[in-house]
């Protein structure tokens, strides 16, 4: 009797293990297919652009609704700000303007990726033009509200003296209501020649925007040289975060803009 029970138990155990293995394989196949599909979506530029535009449109609608609610409730009309930037850069600019305007800011963040702008513009003029092109594209594509104040940034490289490179960011502001265009530059960061040379090496000779800049930014060049991933190129080089530097420049720009706005009202 004992032998029979052991045989039954062994058979039952084998049955359970087989079913668990089959279930595990199915789960792995399902997860694997899902990961492959997500990777395929992420690799498609058209999908990325669609998602970015959808997010921008949703944020613009949300901003409009919130503004209407504020007006109905009789609160002070906030500054409608469309920030054409990404991640921490947009957050730094929004915080700076919120401080200067004492919280009366309604900001929306928009990401614009243009093939007509080099990854790293060379020269102050090239950087300024890149930032302005983003604003113009956003307005022409109806990514920003017609009456909103648009702000855009562009990280650029310029040669202060021969073989002495500096990196800075230009912040551009365009107010269609006041017909006002302002800009400010962040404090410069010295860039060792080895990183500039690496960025130049990775830029093909026939790069269609070579007259205006390079095909890779300084962060990519640093990662290639050091064989490691740097989250913040400026902090890696100086110990000072890019966020703090950008916010300081944005505070100055916000203050200048507020002075102009008061004079015009």
DSSP for 104-168 reads -EEEEEE----TTS-SEEBSHHHHHHHHHHHHHHHHHTT-S-TTSEEEEEEEEEEEEETTEEEEE
CA atoms of 83 and 186, how far apart (whole Å)? 17
Average pLDDT score over residue span 169-183:
96
Share of the chain above pLDDT 90, in %: 62
State residue 75's pLDDT score. 46
Q: Which of 115, 120, 130 is nearest to 222 (CA)?
A: 120
CA 132 to chain centre: 16
Over range 50-66, report the average pLDDT.
Answer: 51
pLDDT at 262: 84
Q: If we measure between CA atoms, which residue out of 230, 244, 158, 163 comes closest to residue 197?
A: 163
1.10.10.10, 3.90.950.10, 1.10.357.10, 3.40.640.10: CATH of 81-191+240-263 = 3.90.950.10
Do 53 and 105 form a contact (C-beta atoms < 8 A)? no
Rounded CA gap, 165 and 20, in Å? 61
What's residue 101's pLDDT?
94
Least confident of 59-63, 136-140, 149-153, 259-263: 59-63
User: Apex CA 177: angle with CA 175 and CA 178, to 5°?
Assistant: 75
Rounded to whole angstroms, the Cα distance separating 227 from 231 reads: 13
pTM: 0.71
Q: Taking the domains of the chain in order of start, what are their residue ranges? A: 81-191+240-263
**CB-side exposure of 111: number of CA atoms within 13 Å?**
15
């Amino acid at each position: 009797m004992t032998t029979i029970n052991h045989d039954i138990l062994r058979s039952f155990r084998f049955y359970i293990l087989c079913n668990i293995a089959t279930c595990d394989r199915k789960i792995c196949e399902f997860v694997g297919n899902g990961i492959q599909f997500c990777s395929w979506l992420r690799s498609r530029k058209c999908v990325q652009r669609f998602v970015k535009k959808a997010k921008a449109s949703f944020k613009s609608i949300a901003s409009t609704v919130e503004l209407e609610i504020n007006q109905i409730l009789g609160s002070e009309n906030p500054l409608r700000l469309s920030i054409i930037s990404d991640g921490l850069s947009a957050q730094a600019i929004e915080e700076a303007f919120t401080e200067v305007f004492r919280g009366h800011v309604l900001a929306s963040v928009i990401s614009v990726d243009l093939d007509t702008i080099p990854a790293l513009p060379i020269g102050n003029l090239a950087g300024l033009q890149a930032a302005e092109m983003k604003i113009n594209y956003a307005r022409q594509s109806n990514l920003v509200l017609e009456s909103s104040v648009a702000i855009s940034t562009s990280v650029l490289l310029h040669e202060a003296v021969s073989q002495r490179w500096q990196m800075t960011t230009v912040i551009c502001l365009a107010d269609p209501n006041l017909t006002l265009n302002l800009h400010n530059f962040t404090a410069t960061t010295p860039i060792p020649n080895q990183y500039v040379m690496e960025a130049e090496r990775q830029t093909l000779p026939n790069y269609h925007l070579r007259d205006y800049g390079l095909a890779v930014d300084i962060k990519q060049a640093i990662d290639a040289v050091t064989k490691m991933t740097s989250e913040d190129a400026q902090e890696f080089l100086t110990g000072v975060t890019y966020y703090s530097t950008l916010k300081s420049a944005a505070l100055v720009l916000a203050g200048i803009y507020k002075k102009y706005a008061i004079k015009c009202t």
